Structure 1
Amino acid sequence: RLGRWHGFSTKEPTVQLQGKSLGIVGLGSIGWEIAKIGHVLGMKVFALKRKIEEKDLKKKNILEFLGEKKDLEKVIKESDFIVVAVPLTKETKGLIGKKELKLMKGKYLINISRGVVIDEEALFKSLKEGNIAGAAIDTWYQYPSLKQKEVLPSKYDFQKLNNVVMSPHTAGYTDRALEENIKSVFNNIVKIYYGEEAENQIDTELE
């Protein structure tokens, strides 16, 4: 924007993903898609899943490591980038706290889960103090009601930090999302009608 692009004009070199490690906390359907992209980009992929199934083991060749909740610290320590993609349940609320954030020194955190999966105060302090290299956050702690025009996403000033990329919970708001959702619902109706197994089923064990 300032017209300064002679040679290597940035203070620091950009981060190359190839050769880096990617940690995925929550290897559901979205987590698997992220794992595939990371693998294609030449990243080592470490992942966690609440319940490892046989179908996961068949695709394990793209993963460097597949573990369960007890392996959270291992995945954080091994990863340069950590993507949080778990559903919000009693088990996952506050899953990433002060202890886990301390382990992310110099790492990048991406949250596409729900805000309260990560401790709000601890996350802000970690970013402000420069412990975490940076974060991309799409899900938050405060949301507007229909009557409110403007609401900041947190009681902390994330918007004033220069190492945070913020979006207003719009990860699934794309030009094709509505069309794909309608197709998915229609296809499932057809599958159920013919006695086939529906796609994108919810795990009723989660609360």
Structure 2
Amino acid sequence: MKVLVTATNYSILCEEAKQLLENNGFEVMENPHDRPMTFDELKEIVTDIEAVVAGVDTWNEAVFAIAPKLKIISRFGVGVDNIDLDKAKEHGIRVTNAPRLNSNAVAELTINFILNALRNTPNLHESTRKGNWERFVGNELQNRSVGLLGFGNIAQSVARKLQGFDVDIYAYDKYPNEQIARELNVQIVPYEEILEKCDIVSMHLPLLEETHHFMDDNKFTKMKQGSYFVNTSRGSLVDEKALYRALKSGSLTAAAIDVYEEEPTNKENPLFELDNVITTPHTAAETFEVYHNVSLLTAKAIIDVKNGAQPENLLN
């Protein structure tokens, strides 16, 4: 049985999971590219594939139609907006994901982003290495208000990590966990209130049809003058052109983003022209700990399906 792994660095970072699959009779085929695979690349090999450990490649009807042996897609992560769950079910393909296992890693990068944006450390790093000695005056996190758009596992982890910073924390969620909010001293409020009053707004919503371009010109205009914006969730939650305008106009002091509307993003992305943007290449969950834990969970899900058992975290 052949397993295609489109998540990158599998042999290097997921040796134990790969061995587990091979010990259970699977032949592991790996993504040879250091990026998501395209449809043209997938169609060359997917015909004989029976299981997939999926990164953020697109898995839809076009792929399923030429993958008659495919039985399971085990998402190497949480978000499954790149997988058509309904069409997968029609084709008898089970889809699983790996919730919670990357929450700490993404939350840590979110805190990293907030602190770096407030103190402009990436730009100062580059400037100092060039022999300059800038006296940039930044802002402290203490006594600030932080707003979390979404209050799932990652946002809750961010809230926990913010406890020692003496900040006021607000969150918006369509179905908020009120008990955890009380435990973490987080005030659940409408998103409009977060935009209007918070110094830092951090995006943690899932990408759904209703949340596509959730942050647009209208919402950026409503944000507090001089505030900061962070996105470690999904790029398409944000209209990048609207974000550019908010940063260019100075209504936002800075933004820090790990995700983009199109990935890999193009080097000509207008956001890269701005000094008040911190950017990373969708790397929030890229830690040794996440790779180890998620790879084992996805491997076990594939083995379960082979053995006729219901896999953990079945989505369809």
Report TM bin, short chain: 0.7 to 0.9
Letter in 2 for 1:95: F
CA distance in 2, matches of 1:178, 1:82: 28
**Are the equivalent residues in 2 in contact too, given 1:137–1:165 (CA < 8 A)?**
yes
Runs of 5+ consecutive residues of structure 2 not aligned to the other structure: 1-127, 303-311
Give the greater-gyration-radius structure (CA).
2
1:31 matched to 2:155? The reply is yes
> What letter matches 1:173 in structure 2?
E
Matches within 5 A, 1:22-101: 22-53=146-177, 56-67=178-189, 71-101=190-220
Question: Higher relative contact order by CA 8 Å / sep ≥ 6: 1 or 2?
Answer: 2
Aligned residue identity for 1:160 = E
TM-score using structure 2 length: 0.51
Percent of pairs with identical residues: 25
Q: Give 1 or 2: higher helix fraction.
A: 2
Question: Which among 123, 142, 145 is matched to residue 21 of structure 1?
Answer: 145
Structure 1, unaligned runs of 5 or more? 145-149, 190-197
**Segment of structure 1 superposing worse, 169-178 or 27-36:** 169-178
Match of 2:226 among 88, 94, 106: 106
The CA distance in 2 between the partners of 1:129 and 1:167, in whole Å, is 23
Query: Once the 2 structures are TM-superposed, how far is the Cα of residue 17 of structure 1 from its aligned partner?
Result: 1.0
User: Matched residues in 2 for 1:187 and 1:10: separation?
Assistant: 53
2:196 aligned partner, one-letter code? K
Count of residues in correspondence between the two structures: 184
Relative to structure 1, is the Cα distance of residues 89 and 15 closer, same or farther in structure 2, using a 3 angstrom cutoff? Answer: same
For the structure 1 residues 45 and 159, does the alpha-carbon distance in structure 2 shift closer, same or farther, using more than 3 Å as the test? same
Provide closer, same or farther for how the CA distance between residues 121 and 39 of structure 1 changes in structure 2, counting only shifts above 3 A.
same
| Runs of 4+ residues over 6 Å off in structure 1 | 186-189
Q: Secondary structure at the match of 2:243?
A: helix
Tell me if the contact between 1:112 and 1:139 (Cα under 8 Å) persists in the aligned partners: yes
Residue 169 in structure 1 maps to residue 282 in structure 2: yes
1:121 matches 2:244: no
Q: Residues 103-159 of structure 1, C-alpha deviation per residue, up to 9 Å, x if partnerless? A: 222000001121221122111111111110100011102224xxxxx83374xx111
